[in-house]
Structure 1
Amino acid sequence: MADDTKKLVDLLEDMPIGMLTTFGPEGPRSIPMARQEVEPTAELWFITVKDSAHSRAIAAEPRVSLTFTARDSWVAVYGRATLVDDREKLAELWTTFAEAWLPGGVDDPNAVLLRVDVESGEYWDTPGGKVASLLSFVKTKLTGDTYDADHGTVSG
């Protein structure tokens, strides 16, 4: 696995909630989604509701964008989303958090998995947190150099 892909996957491990943007017939629409799993190949899994506006948008146009943030890092990924009706995988990834939207649990007929195959992405990371960010900001102001963040791109 390329270093940038590994870095992106490592950053995503600490970012459980992201904003999913779909591009269906009604245009762009963003909603928060709880990520269940990140595969080493940058494949993302979510539990979602089959009968929802974002599921219908994905059925019409599978291209999606996801953005994630943590205290000192940011990730943006682009890819193709697929609704996956796999009860075994759903049971493996199920959390009680999902029951807020799917009270019938794993057996709820409206429960479905959403898999996003990442085609490209970018990350920005400021290792060291606030102090490192503050030092980079001061360096930028004093020297005119650009802000010191670890930045990488990934493409399929």
Structure 2
Amino acid sequence: MTDTDLKGTFWDRMENVNVGMLSAQGTDPRPMAHHARRDDGALWFLTAHDTDIGKDAAAGKTARYQIVSGDAKLYAVIDGALSIETDRAKLEEIWSPMDAAWFEDGKEDPNVRLVRFSPAKGEVWATDSTAKALYDLATSAMSGGTANPGSHGKITF
């Protein structure tokens, strides 16, 4: 699979992933829900201004986002940069009822910070269907071959 194909698979499958582990340089990973937007080439997060992620984004730190999703058959480690976005239209576009649960005054809450994660590079494992992967594992074990349950590679965004 080419870099372009694997990148397309990444974005397609991210639509079925809700949460990953985000960490800015020098901080521990924390679970964060994202909004994937292929057209923006970005993953969007909502946080409060005084959180580590809010402060790290305001400082423009580099970050890593780790995805482990058996349901979406996607596993990835993505490196990129954080920034604060002030575009109200983007906040309106990605806001969801789940986001509202975190802020007392909803999207009008003065503590809401829209964080953009701009991927730069990553390593992606996109597995095949469970049945196909199990069949491949079984046949490779019986034949003495090596299993290949899907696509794997390094990509640049």
Same topology, TM > 0.5: yes
Alpha-carbon distance between aligned partners in 2 of 1:78 and 1:144, rounded to the nearest angstrom: 33
- Can you give the 5+ residue segments of structure 1 that lack an aligned partner in the other structure? none
> Given that residues 6 and 40 in structure 1 are in contact (C-alpha distance below 8 angstroms), is that contact kept between their aligned partners in structure 2?
no
Task: Give the corresponding residue for 2:67.
Answer: 68
Compare 91-100 and 133-142 and name the one that shifted more: 133-142
RMSD over aligned CA atoms reads 2.0
Paired residues for 1:7-46 under 5 Å = 7-23=9-25, 27-40=26-39, 42-46=41-45
Call closer, same or farther: CA 1:76–1:42 in 2, change over 3 Å. Answer: farther
Off by >6 Å, runs of 4+ in structure 1? none
C-alpha deviation, 1:52, in angstroms: 0.6
Q: CA deviation at 1:61?
A: 5.5
Measured after TM superposition, the shift of residue 105 of structure 1 is 0.9
- What are the superposed Cα offsets for residues 27-46 of structure 1, whole Å, 9 maximum, x if unpaired? 33111111123224631112
After superposition, give the CA deviation of every residue in 1:90-116 in whole Å (9 maximum; x if it has no partner): 122111111222121111111011111
Q: TM-score, normalised by structure 1?
A: 0.85
8 Å contact from structure 1 (residues 126, 132) kept in 2: no
Counterpart CA distance in 1 for 2:40 and 2:53 is 24
What is residue 136 of structure 2 aligned with on the other side?
Answer: 136
How much does 1:59 deviate?
3.5
Question: 2:82, 2:118 within 8 Å by CA — same for their partners in 1?
Answer: yes
Asked whether the equivalents of residues 18 and 33 of structure 1 are also in contact (C-alpha less than 8 Å), the reply is: yes
- Which whole-Å CA distance do the structure 2 matches of 1:51 and 1:59 have between them? 10
1:41-60 per-residue CA deviation (whole Å, 9 max, x = no partner) reads 63111222111122223344
> Tell me, which stretches of 5 or more residues in structure 2 are unaligned?
none
Q: Is the 8 A contact 1:9 1:40 kept in 2?
A: no
Percent of paired sites with the same residue: 26
Q: In the comparison of the two structures, how many residue pairs are matched?
A: 152
Mapping of residues 95-114 of structure 1, within 5 Å? 95-114=96-115
Indicate conservation of the 8 Å contact 1:45/1:113, yes or no: yes
Instruction: Compute the displacement of 1:8 (Å).
Output: 1.3
Assess, with a 3 A threshold, how the Cα gap between structure 1 residues 75 and 89 changes in structure 2: closer, same or farther.
Answer: same
